[in-house]
């Protein structure tokens, strides 16, 4: 049916249908789980829901910009435990907490920088580079710890994980601050906006005078820093560090970003707001699995399935938009 009314047409064109549909799905899950279990909407379960996916949510912010730039970062599942272990050993060495945390996060950023430089110098796809980094770090994590959990921190350090300003954990506060920062800057900051231009057409961006490599360096370093932050926060939450932290976390993060509407096949398309919705959707689904007694083994099945569905939907929406644009020109 062709809509002729220009006012209605203008309103419909302004609606982000992806956000709307995803929001409806989230609302349906909330209602369905509230009916199924009286414990779902309790504060205790909401805290569990958020905390169980908070590290993925933090890293999804950085991953969004990486994918919009036309790349990918598989190494985060190696960076998270590596920085957690680094932080843990510094704690055992009596390094001040703040200094150790900053140092571990910087280590994550440096690994992100290495990813970018290897991508640039070797001129190979970032997925291959970051996958190599991931495997290297996983081997190092196992070699450093010998497969054992790093623990035995002071009582003062163990209190950090339970410190909850206004009832919210440090990880949640970190996410709130970062989410607000990314939402605001992704819309107004030139460097963030340039990520879209580079992802859309790197050669055209370079010809226009933009330093495309500087933009790409920024997104990979930022992704590494956020993975490093997730590693530090994981250590404070569990009062330990392990080589097993963050297993397959990159797939959960990428799936959340894809569900949020960031294109996995075309750079320059996506948004932080979409990723916020995508991570909420994933957190709700995983919580629903637990409350419904569904085996956690099916989480991987769901993650893989949703990634495929998200990509197919993204391509479908892209095709519809292209068709509509052609019809409008005609």
Residues 11-23 have pLDDT tens digits of: 555 666 678 888 8
DSSP 49-73: HHHTTHHHHHHHHHHHHHHHTT---
Mean pLDDT of the chain: 87
Q: pLDDT at position 303, please?
A: 77
Within-domain flag for 134: yes
Overall number of domains in the chain = 1
Angle between the N-to-C axes of helices 212-238 and 190-200, in degrees from 0 to 180, rounded to the nearest 10:
110
Q: pLDDT at position 8, please?
A: 57
pLDDT digits (tens, 9 = 90+) for 23-44: 888 898 889 888 888 888 887 8
pLDDT band at 72 (very low <50, low <70, confident <90, very high): very high
Within-domain flag for 3: no
Alpha-carbon distance of 75 to 82, in angstroms, equals 11
pLDDT band at 327 (very low <50, low <70, confident <90, very high): low
Q: pLDDT at position 44, please?
A: 81
Q: pLDDT at position 322, please?
A: 60
| pLDDT surpasses 60 at 188 | yes
Within-domain flag for 198: yes
Q: Looking at residue 240, what DSSP letter applies? A: S
Within-domain flag for 241: yes
Alpha-carbon distance of 262 to 129, in angstroms, equals 21
Alpha-carbon distance of 177 to 167, in angstroms, equals 16
| pLDDT surpasses 90 at 250 | yes
| pLDDT surpasses 90 at 267 | no
Within-domain flag for 240: yes
Q: pLDDT at position 35, please?
A: 86
| pLDDT surpasses 90 at 328 | no
Segments forming the whole domain that contains residue 210: 58-157+168-290
Alpha-carbon distance of 261 to 49, in angstroms, equals 22
Q: pLDDT at position 146, please?
A: 92
pLDDT band at 185 (very low <50, low <70, confident <90, very high): confident
Within-domain flag for 34: no
Burial class (CB within 10 angstroms; exposed 0-12, middle 13-18, buried 19+) of 131: middle
Higher-pLDDT residue of 257, 186: 257
CA 22 to each of CA 67, 96, 165, 260, 311: distance values in angstroms, whole numbers, following the listed order: 20, 44, 31, 8, 14
CA 302 to each of CA 7, 49, 228, 260: distance values in angstroms, whole numbers, following the listed order: 41, 17, 27, 16
Contact 84, 241 (CB under 8 A): yes
Alpha-carbon distance of 44 to 151, in angstroms, equals 27
| pLDDT surpasses 60 at 329 | no
Overall average pLDDT of the 218-247 stretch: 94
Within-domain flag for 213: yes
Contact 273, 290 (CB under 8 A): no
C-alpha 137 chain-centroid distance:
19
Contact 299, 289 (CB under 8 A): yes
| Tokens found for residue 111 | 């690994």
Within-domain flag for 71: yes
Residue 245 pairs in a beta bridge with: none
Q: pLDDT at position 299, please?
A: 75
pTM for the model: 0.89
């Amino acid at each position: 049916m062709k809509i002729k009314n220009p006012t209605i047409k203008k309103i419909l064109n302004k609606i982000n249908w992806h956000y709307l549909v995803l929001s409806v799905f989230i609302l349906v899950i909330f209602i369905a789980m509230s009916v199924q279990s009286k414990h779902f909407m309790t504060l205790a379960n909401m805290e569990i829901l958020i905390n169980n996916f908070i590290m993925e949510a933090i890293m999804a912010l950085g991953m969004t910009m990486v994918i919009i730039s036309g790349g990918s970062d598989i190494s985060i599942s190696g960076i998270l435990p590596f920085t957690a272990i680094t932080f843990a050993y510094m704690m055992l060495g009596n390094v001040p907490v703040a200094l150790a945390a900053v140092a571990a996060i910087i280590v994550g950023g440096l690994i992100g920088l290495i990813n970018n430089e290897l991508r640039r110098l070797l001129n190979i796809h970032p997925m291959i580079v970051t996958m190599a980094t991931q495997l290297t770090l996983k081997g190092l994590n196992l070699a450093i710890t010998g497969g054992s959990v790093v623990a035995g921190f002071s009582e003062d350090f163990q209190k950090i994980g339970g410190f909850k300003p206004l009832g919210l954990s440090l990880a949640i506060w970190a996410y709130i601050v970062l989410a607000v920062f990314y939402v605001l800057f992704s819309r107004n900051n030139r460097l963030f906006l340039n990520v879209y231009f580079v992802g859309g057409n790197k050669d055209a961006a370079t010809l226009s005078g933009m330093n495309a490599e500087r933009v790409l360096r920024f997104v990979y370093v930022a992704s590494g820093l956020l993975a490093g932050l997730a590693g530090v926060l994981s250590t404070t939450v569990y009062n330990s560090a392990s080589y097993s932290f963050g297993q397959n976390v990159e797939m959960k993060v990428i799936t959340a970003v894809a569900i949020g509407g960031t294109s996995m096949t075309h750079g320059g398309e996506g948004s932080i707001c979409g990723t916020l919705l995508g991570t909420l959707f994933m957190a709700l689904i995983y919580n629903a699995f637990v409350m419904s007694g569904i085996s956690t083994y099916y989480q991987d099945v769901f993650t893989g399935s949703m990634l495929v569905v998200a990509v197919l939907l993204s391509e479908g929406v892209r095709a519809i938009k292209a068709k509509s644009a052609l019809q409008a020109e005609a």
